[in-house]
Amino acid sequence: MTELVTDPLLVALDVDGTLVTYGGVLSEETRDAARALVAAGHHVVISTGRSVHGTVHVWDELGLTQGWAVCSNGAVTVRIDPAAEKGWTAHEVITFDPSFAIRLLVEEFPTVRFAAEVLGEGYRLNQEFPPGELTGTQHVVSVDELCSEPVTRLAVRAPDMTDEDFDHVVKRLGLHDVTYSVGYTAWLDIAPSGITKASALETLRRELGVNPERTVAVGDGRNDVEMLTWAARGVAMGHAPAEVREAADEVTGTIDDDGVLAVLRSLT
């Protein structure tokens, strides 16, 4: 029988490019290492920009039958609950009015595509996204309809722009009433003001009674920067952009090296 630790860790793990490859593959070794941490009494928390419905299969594949997941870049925190209808129950859901950001971006990018998250289901879109980029149900509606309801997360896509041009214009516009992060492609995730993976993890840490010095986070994206600086031990994946690696306490291997595995094994 595994002896449970008396001073548990909170281990926050990004999904895409960290836990799983960009093709969606989770290695057996990483799965086993994560399970070993849970069996020892540590809190392994999935922390992702993905929606909840896009995350369920990740914790299923990891074999997590209890615990927590921070989704939508911190706007949604759920308790993993196999007995619940969808396999989870909402713990904290934070929304914002997307209308200002939508109007501002439409004026700058007339062909911009928006996806407003519908919790646990899918998205409402003003036009279709490139194939394979979104999960769940997808309903095309007008821009006015997108502006009519509060949302947990707004994904913005400008597929005809380069990453650099998109990043430059977004910074120039100044979205002060929301929190945003630009991804690897011309993709922007907008969340409620002040909400990040780190803010959700800090709330969860306090509720679970985990010592701040017992926090670990691993990630590879710009939306992981706050999480990496929040953790007592922030680890960037080796392929992460320079700004992400600079924000971390250390750098592990790339996703091709299964870099997260070395971190997980170092915790047991």
Which CATH number belongs to the domain containing residue 234 in this structure? 3.40.50.1000
**Of 153, 175, 192, at which residue does a domain stop?**
192
How much of the chain is in helix, strand and coil states, percent to nearest 5?
30, 25, 45
> Is 149 inside a domain boundary?
yes
> What is the per-residue burial (b if ≥16 Cβ within 10 Å, else e) of 234-251?
bbbbebbeeebbebbeeb
> Is 168 inside a domain boundary?
yes
Same domain, 179 and 237: no
> Is 52 inside a domain boundary?
yes
Query: What are the backbone dihedrals phi and psi of residue 184, each rounded to the nearest 5 degrees, phi first?
Result: -70, -35
Written as six digits, the tokens of 42 are 């540590």
pLDDT value at residue 157: 86
Same domain, 122 and 182: yes
Same domain, 239 and 121: no
pLDDT value at residue 188: 79
d(CA 75, CA 163): 24
**Of 151, 173, 192, at which residue does a domain stop?**
192
pLDDT value at residue 91: 97
Same domain, 109 and 226: no
Same domain, 182 and 199: no
**Residue 58 near residue 177 (C-beta atoms within 8 A):** no
> Is 139 inside a domain boundary?
yes
d(CA 34, CA 261): 9
> Is 1 inside a domain boundary?
no
Same domain, 105 and 182: yes
* Domain range enclosing 253: 10-94+195-266
For the chain, what is the domain count? 2
> Is 70 inside a domain boundary?
yes
**Of 133, 158, 192, at which residue does a domain stop?**
192
Same domain, 60 and 184: no
Cβ count near 13 (within 10 Å): 27
Which CATH number belongs to the domain containing residue 147 in this structure? 3.30.1240.10
Same domain, 186 and 223: no
Same domain, 258 and 142: no
Same domain, 153 and 219: no
d(CA 34, CA 235): 16
Same domain, 90 and 104: no
Same domain, 86 and 205: yes
> Is 182 inside a domain boundary?
yes
> Is 154 inside a domain boundary?
yes
pLDDT in tens, the chain (268 residues): 456 777 999 999 999 999 999 889 999 999 999 999 999 999 999 999 999 999 999 999 999 999 999 999 999 999 999 999 999 999 999 999 999 888 888 887 788 899 999 999 999 999 998 888 888 999 999 999 999 999 999 988 877 766 666 667 666 766 655 565 555 566 778 888 889 999 999 999 999 999 999 999 999 998 999 999 999 999 999 999 999 999 999 999 999 999 999 999 999 8
